[in-house]
Structure 1
Amino acid sequence: MDDVDVTLGPGSPSDLAAAISRSARAADGFGLDIDATLAWVRAVGPDVASASHSAGWESLAAAAAVDVAGARMLEPHVDALQILAQAARADAVSTDAVPGEDATWGVFAAEGRGVSVRAREHEGRWVLSGTKPWCSLASHLSHALVTAWTAPDERRLFAVDLRAPGVHPHTGPWVSRGLAQVVSAPVDFDDAAAAPVGNDGWYLRRPGFAWGGIGVAAVWWGASLPLTEALARAAAREGADQLAAAYAGEADAASWAARAVLTDAAGRAGRGVDAPAVLAHRVRATVAETADRIASLAEQALGPAPLTTDEPFARRIADLRIYLRQHHGRRDLAGLGRKLVAS
C-alpha cells in the first residue's frame, strides 16, 4: 500500500487489495462522482466478492482508506454478489433473478417504524408493495436485493429491477453532512415485480449474513487508517510534544487491536464456526468502538484546523461517523448478550 497497511494475514497485503487501492486512486472522482464510482464498483466487484475472507476484507479496507464514500458504494454491491452466489450454490435462486454484468446492486434490508414492504404471489409471479426505508443510492443503482414480509413473522429476500414499473425511489430527505452524496432515502413499491432469493428466513439465517456484517466493519477500520497515519505524522513533526506522541500511540494501539480482531475473524470464517452471528457481533462492536475512538483522537490532537481547512480530512471524519451509525451501540451489544445467553 502507498499510504496505509491493510494486511490481515502474514506477509504483505493481498494482490487484490493492492490493486483495489491503485485503481481507486486512479479513478476520476472516486467517492464523489457517483456514476464514475459505480462504474469502478461494477468492474472490481466480482473479484472482491469471490476473494477469500481475508483478501476481500483487506480490499474493502483498502477502498475505504482511499475514500469512505467509495467503499460505501462498493460494500453492498459485493455483499449482493456474494448473496446471489450463495443462493446459486444452494439452488435457491432462479436465473431470472440475476441480470448481466452491467448491474449495480444495493441491499435494502432495513426496517422502519410505520413502514414495511409486503410480498405476495400474483398471477404466478411475486410482487412487492409498500415502503422500504434507508435505500442507499436507489436512484442510481440498477438492481437491489430487498427484504419483504411474506407472513407476520417471516421475511424473504427478493431481487428487484429498480428501473422497472412500480419502483419509486425518493430523493430525500437526506441532509447528512457525512456521506452526503450517498443518499439513503425510502423507496415505494407498487406491485413491483420481484424474483425470490432463498426461502423465508434464508437471508438472515445463512452464515454469509455474518460475513457481510464483518465486511462493513472492515470498511470502518480502513476508513480510520488515514486518521491514525495523520496522528503519527503530527507526532513526527519538529517540536511535537509528548502529548502528540501519546495520541499517536493510543490510535496505533487501538487500530492494531481492530486489525487483530479482523484477522482472527478471517481465520475463523475460513475454517467455519458454530456461531457466526456471535463472532460478527463481537467484531463489529470492537471495530466500531475503535474507529470512533480514533476519529475522536484525531479531532482532539489535530484541533480545528484540518476540520475547517482540509476538505478530505473533514469529509473523512464526517463520512466515517455517519457510516458508524450502522452499528447501534448498546442495542447491538444487547443483541450480542442475548445470543450468548441463548447459546
Structure 2
Amino acid sequence: MPQPFIFLAPGSTTAPLEWPLAERLLETAAICGGDPAPILELLATSDQSPPTPGDGLTTTLWEFLATLASVDLAAARTVEPHLDAAAILAQAGIDWVPRTSWGVFAAEGSTKLVADAPDADTGEWLLDGEKPWCSLAGALDYAVVTAHVPGGRRAFAVDLRRSGVTAHSGAWASHGLARIPSESVGFENVPALPVGARDWYLDRPGFAVGGVGVAACWFGGAVGIFRTLFAAAQSRKPDQLALAWLGESDRLLASGAAMLHAAAVAADQGTLGWRAAHRVRGQIAGICERISTLAGRALGPAPLGFDPSHARRVADLGIYIRQHHAARDDAALGQLLLQAPESTEGGIGPW
C-alpha cells in the first residue's frame, strides 16, 4: 500500500475490506495528484455494488476512507459520495447500477429544485430548477438528488447524462479541491426515480452514519498532515516546542480515532443518531483545524511554499471541513439535547 493504513480500532492488524477496488483505489490515489478522473474511471469499471456501512464492517470501511484521504483528499472526496449513494440506494431497496459513478446532491441554497409527477398514469417524476453544490456533476454518471415536493423534500436517483441536465462550470475558484468543482446544476424536465418516501432521506438512520463517514475522510487528511510533521521532527533534533506540537497532534488524533471507532460500533448496532454524529463531526473538524495550525507553526512556510503535496493537502482539507457548519452545527446539537435529554434521573442532560 502506498501509505501506512489507518486503524481506528484498538489492536487491529489487518483491514479485510471485501471490495476488489479498495487496493487499486489506494494505488491510484497515490499518483492521481488531486485529479478525480482516474478515480472515477476505476469506480466505473466495477460490476460489484460498493460496501456500505451499518452491516458489521463500518470500522473497516471508515478505516479505508481515512487511509484513502491520507493519501489524497481529492480521491477520498470522489469515493465517499459514491459509497454514500450506494448506502442510500441499498437502504431504499433499489438495486445498484453496475459500471457507474455516483454522487449525492443534497445541499440547499438560494436556488430551488422542484420535483413533480405531472402524469398520474405513468407515475413518472420530473425535476425542474437549480441544485447548488453539486460536486463533479459534469463527470458523474448518476446522483442521488434531493428536491422539494409538496409537504417536504424527497430523494431521487437521476441519470446525469440525460438531456435537460446542465452542469454549470467556470465559477469554482477554490485552490483546495481545485479539480473537484462544486457548482450548481440545472434540471429541465429530467426524469427521476424516487428513492424512499417524502422526507425519508433526512429521517433515515443512515443519514447520521453517512455524515460521520465524511468525518473519517477529514480525519485521514489530518493524519496526512501529521505524517509530514512527524517526518520533519525525525529529520532534525526537535526543540521543546516542536516536541510539544508533535505530542499535541498525536493526542488529538488518538481522541479522534477513538470517537470514530465508537461511532462505527454504534452504526453497526443501529444506534448512531445525530446527537452522536454532531459530536464526532464537530470534534474531528476541530482536530483538523488545530493540526493544520500546529503544522504551520512547527514547519514554517517552506512546505506550504515548496512541497506541492503538503500545500495541496492543507488547502484541500481546509475547504473539505467546511462541510461542517461550525457553530451552527453545535447549535443543532444543543437543540437536539433540549428536545430529548438523555438523562433519566432528573438531570439537565447526558452528563
1:217-238 per-residue CA deviation (whole Å, 9 max, x = no partner) reads: 0000011112112222222233
User: Residue 145 and residue 134 in structure 1: after superposition, are their counterparts in 2 closer, same or farther (change >3 A)?
Assistant: same
Q: Distance in 2 between matches of 1:104 and 1:122?
A: 29
Structure 1 runs (4+) greater than 3 angstroms displaced: 1-5, 17-22, 41-48
1:284 aligns with one of 259, 281, 284: 281
| Alignment partner of 1:75 is 2:80 | yes
Unmatched runs of 5 consecutive residues or more in structure 2: 341-351
Return the letter of the residue paired with 2:137: A
Q: Which residue of 2 aligns with 1:35?
A: 37
Q: Distance in 2 between matches of 1:169 and 1:204?
A: 25
1:307 aligns with one of 301, 304, 308: 304
Question: Could you tell which deviates more after superposition, 124-133 or 5-14?
Answer: 5-14
State the superposition RMSD in angstroms. 2.0
User: Residue 20 and residue 254 in structure 1: after superposition, are their counterparts in 2 closer, same or farther (change >3 A)?
Assistant: farther
Q: Which residue of 1 aligns with 2:52?
A: 49
Q: Distance in 1 between matches of 2:213 and 2:45?
A: 19
Any residues of structure 2 matched to 1:38-187 within 5 Å, and which?
Answer: 38-42=40-44, 46-49=49-52, 52-88=57-93, 93=94, 98=96, 100-113=97-110, 115-123=111-119, 124=122, 125-151=124-150, 153-187=151-185
| Alignment partner of 1:335 is 2:338 | no
Aligned sequence identity (%): 43
User: Residue 197 and residue 154 in structure 1: after superposition, are their counterparts in 2 closer, same or farther (change >3 A)?
Assistant: same
Q: CA deviation at 1:300?
A: 1.3
Q: CA deviation at 1:35?
A: 2.4
Task: With the length of structure 2 as denominator, give the TM-score of the two structures.
Answer: 0.89
Aligned pair count reads 332
Return the letter of the residue paired with 1:38: L
Q: Distance in 2 between matches of 1:238 and 1:17?
A: 41
Select the structure that is richer in helix. 1
User: Residue 333 and residue 22 in structure 1: after superposition, are their counterparts in 2 closer, same or farther (change >3 A)?
Assistant: same
Q: Distance in 2 between matches of 1:242 and 1:236?
A: 14
1:267-319 per-residue CA deviation (whole Å, 9 max, x = no partner) reads: 1112222x611111111001110111111111111010000000000000000
Aligned partner of residue 49 in structure 1, secondary structure: coil
Residues 168 and 189 in structure 1, CA contact (< 8 A), matched pair in contact too: yes
Residues 127 and 189 in structure 2, CA contact (< 8 A), matched pair in contact too: yes
User: Residue 249 and residue 4 in structure 1: after superposition, are their counterparts in 2 closer, same or farther (change >3 A)?
Assistant: farther
1:29-69 per-residue CA deviation (whole Å, 9 max, x = no partner) reads: 42533321112334578444366211111111011011000
Unmatched runs of 5 consecutive residues or more in structure 1: none
Aligned partner of residue 157 in structure 1, secondary structure: strand
Residues 20 and 63 in structure 1, CA contact (< 8 A), matched pair in contact too: no
Task: With the length of structure 1 as denominator, give the TM-score of the two structures.
Answer: 0.91
Q: CA deviation at 1:206?
A: 0.5
Q: Which residue of 1 aligns with 2:8?
A: 8
Residues 48 and 78 in structure 1, CA contact (< 8 A), matched pair in contact too: yes
Aligned partner of residue 166 in structure 2, secondary structure: strand
Q: CA deviation at 1:107?
A: 0.3
Return the letter of the residue paired with 1:139: G
Q: Which residue of 1 aligns with 2:345?
A: none
Return the letter of the residue paired with 1:234: A
User: Residue 202 and residue 321 in structure 1: after superposition, are their counterparts in 2 closer, same or farther (change >3 A)?
Assistant: same
Residues 2 and 26 in structure 2, CA contact (< 8 A), matched pair in contact too: no
Q: CA deviation at 1:2?
A: 5.8
Q: Distance in 2 between matches of 1:220 and 1:79?
A: 15
Residues 214 and 280 in structure 1, CA contact (< 8 A), matched pair in contact too: yes
Q: Distance in 2 between matches of 1:194 and 1:214?
A: 27
Return the letter of the residue paired with 1:173: A
Aligned partner of residue 179 in structure 2, secondary structure: coil
